[in-house]
Structure 1
Amino acid sequence: MANHRGGSGNFAEDRERASEAGRKGGQHSGGNFKNDPQRASEAGKKGVKTVMVVVKVNARLALFSLMRC
């Protein structure tokens, strides 16, 4: 059984405080890309670069394993 610590930081017993905290967090987050096409474009380019690095590493590993056979 989990220990209940209680205290002012526990939202389990105060749904209103939990809801308010979630709302504030959403307001302070960067949000989605719908309103910022430039940010969306940069994120897409970053994702493509990451995928290309992974593909290159996997190709090198495959080649290395073939050479060892």
Structure 2
Amino acid sequence: MALRYKSRKWLALLILVVALPLYIIVALNVVSAFERPSILVELLIYVALGVIWAFPLKFVFKGIGQPDPDG
């Protein structure tokens, strides 16, 4: 079952305002739990974590900037 446009819009807003900051806090805590790696490795970890969150949620954000197709 596909989500309606308005549902996807609200879900995208919820993800960006609530879930993404929580994800950032968790990622920072997980990385800081280990011994600090070199700056390039740490940068690579943060870039990878910054990209990985978007792939499972791509269907939510796809087409959000377009006009409402339902009316």
Q: Which category of TM-score, normalised to the shorter sequence, fits these structures?
A: 0.3 to 0.5
Superposition TM-score, scaled by structure 2 size: 0.34
The higher relative CO (CA closer than 8 Å, separation ≥ 6) is in: 2
Give the number of the structure whose alpha-carbon radius of gyration is greater: 1
What is the TM-score of this pair, normalised by structure 1?
A: 0.34
